[in-house]
């Protein structure tokens, strides 16, 4: 039994590495496939659970590579495109990746600390939070808009994205978030890269010791992620992007490196605590947690195993991402970045059409144009998350 569980962990890490490197290929798709074959695991439903957990953690680490080096993010790494690409142009792409990965490790320690608090406190307060959920989401939305330089444009982008999100939910599209978020954050960034004549310079690859964050940076990111992430771990439409924006205001002496560390930390916290949330209040906050909920009712022993798998997977994923990141850093300047962006865009379009059909592809096109509008208008791209936040606000709005 132990051998089977260990193999599930290893295979999860391998598949998570693959999905993390493939633009648009989200772990939710793999989780859905695993669920369809779950009957083959009748002797132990814990085996596919361990697979899904290790895969999702690995994917979170590895996904920073295409986000930074190719400008092709998923929904969790979308905010890393801008600072990551800027550092790439300044020959610091490897440093950008390592900063994100160190942030992920910081997130693991935060998950371990927050897990007992979630288990003890969340069931006691969640029934009350449901009555003010719409208000929390509304305040978070207002905060994002106020933080923008051009508030009027950001407000317009937020509502356009919100209306698009509501419309997409009423369409008969499979995996709606795939075309919606891939267009808003992925293809729009790729098209921007294609239209610009960016030549990627040779990258500097310092040692890990040189790139290791200072104690002050670690403590600041740790505290900021502890403050900003918990609510985003169990409230709908609030995810790592919003947590990173909120947490960045807590950090003194803001920098691209610190922001990427923070984004890595909150990604891991939101994902890790989603399994704790599933155990404590029975709510699945992420696609991976939703898949686990279909397989087992988490017991205290199961939760302990999941937390151990999260820790082990993260250690493996950190060094795997470092290895692959070095390869990208050494070779990214040798290839035609415009051609790579075109290939990635075609691949992303194919994935959307394959999994979401023709109607999903139309949604992908509209989302792409809205993402481009946000980029060229100078609005903060976090306001595009109105596609999820506005429908959630209206859903939880109490009927007067």
Arithmetic mean of pLDDT, 237-260: 71
pLDDT at position 217 over 50 = yes
Arithmetic mean of pLDDT, 84-99: 86
CA nearest to 107, candidates 150, 142, 60: 60
pLDDT tens per residue across span 112-130: 998 998 899 888 887 777 7
Q: What integer pLDDT is reported at residue 400 of this predicted model? A: 45
In the DSSP assignment, the letter for residue 203 is P
Residue 53: band (very low, low, confident or very high) from pLDDT cuts 50, 70, 90: very high
Residue 239 domain boundaries? 2-396
Number of compact structural domains in the chain: 1
Arithmetic mean of pLDDT, 334-351: 81
Query: Which of 170-184, 259-273, 375-389 ranks highest by mean pLDDT?
Result: 259-273
pLDDT at position 295 over 70 = yes
What average pLDDT does the chain have?
82
CA nearest to 78, candidates 323, 339, 383, 329: 383
357 φψ region: left (φ > 0), alpha (ψ -120 to 50), beta (else): left
Q: How far is CA 334 from CA 199, 337, 369, in A?
A: 10, 9, 30
- In order, the DSSP letters of 246-283 are HHHTTSSS--HHHHHHHHHHHHHHHHHHHHHHHHHH--
Q: What integer pLDDT is reported at residue 2 of this predicted model? A: 78
pLDDT at position 243 over 90 = no
In the DSSP assignment, the letter for residue 212 is P
Please give the distance of CA 291 from its chain centroid, rounded to a whole number: 17
Task: Count the helix, strand and coil residues of the chain and give each as a percent rounded to the nearest 5.
Answer: 80, 0, 20
More confident residue, 139 or 128: 139
Q: What integer pLDDT is reported at residue 227 of this predicted model? A: 79
* Residue 338 burial (10 A CB sphere; 0-12, 13-18, 19+): middle
More confident residue, 53 or 133: 53
pLDDT tens per residue across span 11-28: 999 989 988 887 656 565
Query: Which of 9-23, 66-80, 174-188 ranks highest by mean pLDDT?
Result: 9-23
pLDDT at position 198 over 70 = no
Q: Rounded to two decimals, what is the model's pTM?
A: 0.81
Structure tokens at 325: 């990141």
* pLDDT above 90 as % of the chain: 27
Query: Which of 224-228, 305-309, 384-388 ranks highest by mean pLDDT?
Result: 305-309
HSE-up of 251 (CA within 13 Å, CB side)?
Answer: 28
Rounded to 5°, the CA angle 151-153-158 comes to 90
């Amino acid at each position: 039994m132990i051998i089977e569980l260990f193999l599930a962990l290893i295979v999860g890490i391998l598949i998570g590495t693959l999905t993390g490197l493939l633009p648009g290929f989200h772990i939710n798709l793999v989780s859905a496939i695993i669920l369809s074959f779950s009957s083959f695991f009748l002797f132990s439903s814990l085996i596919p659970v361990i697979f899904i957990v290790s895969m999702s953690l690995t994917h979170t680490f590895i996904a920073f590579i295409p986000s930074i080096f190719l400008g092709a993010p998923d929904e969790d790494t979308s905010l890393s495109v801008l600072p990551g690409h800027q550092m790439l142009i300044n020959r610091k792409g490897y440093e950008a990746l390592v900063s994100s990965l160190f942030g992920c490790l910081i997130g693991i320690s935060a998950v371990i600390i927050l897990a007992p608090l979630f288990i003890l406190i969340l069931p006691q307060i969640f029934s009350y939070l449901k009555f003010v959920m719409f208000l929390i989401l509304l305040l978070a939305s207002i905060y994002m808009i106020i933080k923008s330089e051009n508030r009027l444009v950001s407000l317009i982008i937020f509502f356009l994205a919100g209306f698009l999100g509501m419309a997409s939910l009423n369409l008969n599209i499979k995996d709606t978030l795939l075309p919606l978020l891939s267009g808003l954050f992925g293809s729009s960034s790729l098209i921007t890269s294609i239209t610009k004549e960016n030549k990627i310079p040779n990258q500097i690859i310092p040692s890990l010791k040189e790139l290791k964050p200072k104690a002050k940076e670690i403590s600041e990111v740790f505290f900021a992620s502890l403050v900003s992430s918990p609510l985003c771990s169990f409230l709908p439409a609030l995810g790592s992007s919003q947590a990173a924006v909120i947490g960045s205001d807590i950090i003194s002496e803001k920098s691209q490196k610190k922001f990427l560390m923070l984004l890595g930390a909150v990604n891991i916290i939101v994902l890790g605590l989603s399994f704790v949330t599933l155990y404590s209040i029975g709510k699945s906050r992420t696609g991976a947690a939703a898949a686990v909920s279909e397989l087992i009712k988490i017991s205290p022993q199961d939760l302990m195993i999941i937390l151990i798998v999260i820790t082990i997977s993260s250690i493996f994923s950190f060094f795997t991402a470092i290895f692959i990141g070095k390869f990208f850093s050494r070779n990214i300047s040798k290839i035609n970045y415009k051609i790579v962006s075109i290939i990635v865009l075609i691949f992303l379009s194919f994935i959307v059409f394959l999994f979401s059909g023709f109607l999903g592809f139309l949604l992908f096109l509209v989302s792409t144009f809205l993402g481009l509008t946000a980029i060229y208008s100078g609005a903060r791209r976090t306001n595009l998350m109105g596609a999820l936040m506005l429908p959630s606000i209206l859903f939880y709005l109490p009927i007067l």
